[in-house]
Structure 1
Amino acid sequence: MAQASQQFGEWPLKRLMTEVVGSGHKSAEDMDRDQAREAFQRILAGEPDPTTLGAFWLANRWKRNSPEELAAYTDVMREESVDVAAPDADPVDCGANYDGKHSTAILGVAAGAVAAAAGTPVVVHSGDRVPTQKLDAYKHVLDELGVRTELEPEESADMVDQIGFGYYYQPAFNPGVDDLWERRDMMGVRSFVNTVETLANPADADVHLGSFYHLAFAEKTVDTFRAVQAQDVSRVLMFQGQEGYDDIRPGSTVVAEWGSVRSTDESASGEGSDPRAGEDLADFEIETANYGMDFSGEDLEVEDIAEDSATITEEVLAGDRDDQFADAVAVNAALRMYAREDVDSLEDGLDAARETIESGDAADVLDDLRAF
């Protein structure tokens, strides 16, 4: 893994604050790629004064980062902090918010296990109590399930190849960003680091799955991937997520897709759109009730996120539940299969998810994860 460079250019964060990003949310300008690269190199190296660093993060939050800036940050992170360990399988990279959920169950472990059992390898990654929320994330559900999570990157890659589902632990694969934990915690609000850490892609996957509150964020994410130089993501699937996580929101929900991992130009969308036409982002709206999720987001609320999510995961995979959680897991598994274009439509993915649960293959994935 590359180490943060100690050789910098002419743009310390204080100068960037004074001359570019710090004049106010209306008058501030965007940085060019070189300026943004240097800024994040300095941050990873621990060079800025803490006051200047906090001001820089806050100024970026006010003005909002451009895709070019986010791509530059992501490139520096990948080059100087991320220890990439690519499995032989080409998984779907699930980029959920690292700072966790506060109200509803985390369904991505169960959905990922179902997708893996159906032949779609899945990777998830998170830290441990990441600011600002510092709530339960993927790690804590897996811990409750008795799955080993504090893995080195190569172990995570082996997990993907052996089981079809893999977990990457941020302190092991992205230590430079993990070292920013205290400074991020002192900020009290999210910064652009919360965005770019979800794009770390430690398995070097071709497909990214993520979520958004508003479609504009999906557009920005795709434009960021277009501009990124340190990785090559060829397909993005995003949807309106529950609590900003990679669990789809029940109800009328927007899904956005871009690119393809297929060798033909034939669209995989079951909704009549062609995400590859002109390399534009395509979006369509679905009613989740048409896919078995005929309930509200409140129906997915739990009291203890990690413990209850683990129990739900066990029971759904064992075929012991026939309720809103089982329906939501099946739809989220279908989205992961569709993201990788292993199925031609969400309906096909839903059928495959339900068959996989009924056969016991999904429960076998959880057994294998515990034994790893």
Structure 2
Amino acid sequence: MSHEFRDLLKQVGSGSHTSKALTRAEAAAATRMMLTQTATPAQIGAFMIAHRIKRPTVDELAGTLDAYEALGPTLPAIAPDSAYSRHALVLSCPYDGRSRTAPVTPITALVVAAAGVPVVMHGGDRMPTKEGIPLIELWQQLGVDLCPHSLEQAHTLLNRTGLGFVYLPQHFPLAHGLVLYREQIGKRPPFATVELLWSPYAGPHTLAMGFVHPPTEEFAKGTFALRGQTDWITVKGLEGSCDLARGRTAIVGVNHPGQTDRLLLHPRDYGLEGDDVELGDELTLGDRLLDVLAGGTTELAKTALWNAGFYLWQGGVADSLAGGLAEAQTLLATGKALAKLEEFRQQSADLTQPLIYSHS
């Protein structure tokens, strides 16, 4: 048993009247002990439940992110001579995936990368408590298996294609080791919020994170301020993802040095209003996304256009949302986004091909 961890657990788990928030340094220490499992399983589970009930503070979230940065993976900045050396976009979506609405995040990434803006994503496998379809499976349905890549290979893929993925089981096994506790406690711990705030990319970037509940957005603002993250976007997205809804006004916060904007974006103003597309049969989702990339005109295609246009605008490709939508339409209609998928698929496969040596 870790006596040091027990003292920190007592602080957060003493009840509504006597519990005490951890300092940033204490939260970092507690997170390190959980990631390395210096703390016992009983202590880790108790901490997760107590912390959820107490609710984390911005100092605690910042400390947890400090530990993630110290112990976790970081993709190096894209090489200066790469075609994708622009300011990157990091898409942070809930690791427990989607279970009700059809995701278009991979199409957003492909369109944005086709326009020359690099995109970094991160996540793991099916995860409690939702057990929804995660990003890694969406890419697999599109013919891209990102699971085997080392972090070095993921960086190579980012340099070559403008698309990078940090995969929890392969690149951050310490964090993956805590997933089992989510199933056992039956609730999302504060780590689920930390994953939305985490950016595993070292180069200049804008972090886009989805959220559901307003307090999450407020936590994000305070945590970003403490950690010096000045470029960020918060999206009240579909199931807390980075995907903007079409069935309601999109609520978005955008922060850049010296400027913070609150955006209320109405799909009907751009002819894109409509119900949000249901997830339906998971096994056909890849085919539906491929149909969008091939120029389909389904409701899912409108959702993809709405999102790709927004992120092209935020990525600096267009000066307005209308301009971003027009550029997204062009990239989809001309097949450039589909070509980016084919490039991503081929480059990913090449990295995992065994070397063949010839003997003279």
**Fold match by TM threshold 0.5:** yes
Which of 21, 43, 46 is 1:30 aligned to? 21
2:90 is paired with a residue of what secondary structure?
strand
Q: Which residue number in structure 2 is paired with residue 15 of structure 1?
A: 7
Please tell me whether residue 92 in structure 1 is matched to residue 84 in structure 2. Answer: no
Which of 89, 100, 105 is 1:103 aligned to? 100
Please tell me whether residue 329 in structure 1 is matched to residue 327 in structure 2. Answer: no
TM-score normalised per structure 1: 0.85
Matches of 2:297 and 2:18, distance apart in 1: 54
Contact 1:209–1:238 at 8 Å: present in 2 too? yes
Please tell me whether residue 259 in structure 1 is matched to residue 256 in structure 2. Answer: yes
Which of 283, 293, 311 is 2:262 aligned to? 283
> Structure 2 matches for 1:183-194, cutoff 5 A?
183-194=181-192
> Structure 2 matches for 1:1-372, cutoff 5 A?
12-18=4-10, 20-25=11-16, 27-88=18-79, 89=85, 90-150=87-147, 151-205=149-203, 206-228=205-227, 233-250=229-246, 251-260=248-257, 276-277=258-259, 281-297=260-276, 300-305=277-282, 307-319=283-295, 321-372=296-347
Q: Which residue number in structure 2 is paired with residue 263 of structure 1?
A: none
Deviation readout 1:316-362 (Å, 9 max, x if unpaired): 1111x112211111121122223333322221111110011111111
The residue type paired with residue 269 of structure 2 is N
The residue type paired with residue 15 of structure 1 is D
Identity %, equivalent residues:
27
Deviation readout 1:98-137 (Å, 9 max, x if unpaired): 1111111121001111111122221211101122222211
1:12 is paired with a residue of what secondary structure?
helix
Decide whether aligned partners of structure 1 residues 215 and 338 sit closer, same or farther in structure 2, where only a CA change above 3 A counts. Answer: farther
Contact 2:106–2:139 at 8 Å: present in 1 too? yes
The residue type paired with residue 314 of structure 1 is L
CA RMSD of aligned residues (A): 1.9
Decide whether aligned partners of structure 1 residues 156 and 291 sit closer, same or farther in structure 2, where only a CA change above 3 A counts. Answer: farther
The residue type paired with residue 317 of structure 1 is L
Matches of 2:256 and 2:215, distance apart in 1: 17
Contact 1:288–1:294 at 8 Å: present in 2 too? yes
Contact 2:115–2:317 at 8 Å: present in 1 too? no
1:166 is paired with a residue of what secondary structure?
strand
Aligned residues: 337
2:21 is paired with a residue of what secondary structure?
coil
Contact 2:90–2:199 at 8 Å: present in 1 too? yes
Q: Give 1:24 deviation, angstroms.
A: 2.3
Deviation readout 1:297-325 (Å, 9 max, x if unpaired): 2xx103233x3331122111111x11221
Q: Which residue number in structure 1 is paired with residue 354 of structure 2?
A: none
The residue type paired with residue 303 of structure 2 is A
Matches of 1:86 and 1:204, distance apart in 2: 5
Q: Give 1:27 deviation, angstroms.
A: 4.6
Q: Which residue number in structure 2 is paired with residue 269 of structure 1?
A: none
The residue type paired with residue 13 of structure 1 is F
Matches of 2:134 and 2:314, distance apart in 1: 22
Matches of 1:233 and 1:341, distance apart in 2: 18
Long gaps (5+) in structure 1: 1-7, 261-275
Matches of 1:292 and 1:164, distance apart in 2: 30
Matches of 1:127 and 1:182, distance apart in 2: 13
Contact 1:242–1:248 at 8 Å: present in 2 too? yes
Q: Which residue number in structure 2 is paired with residue 267 of structure 1?
A: none
Contact 2:154–2:165 at 8 Å: present in 1 too? yes
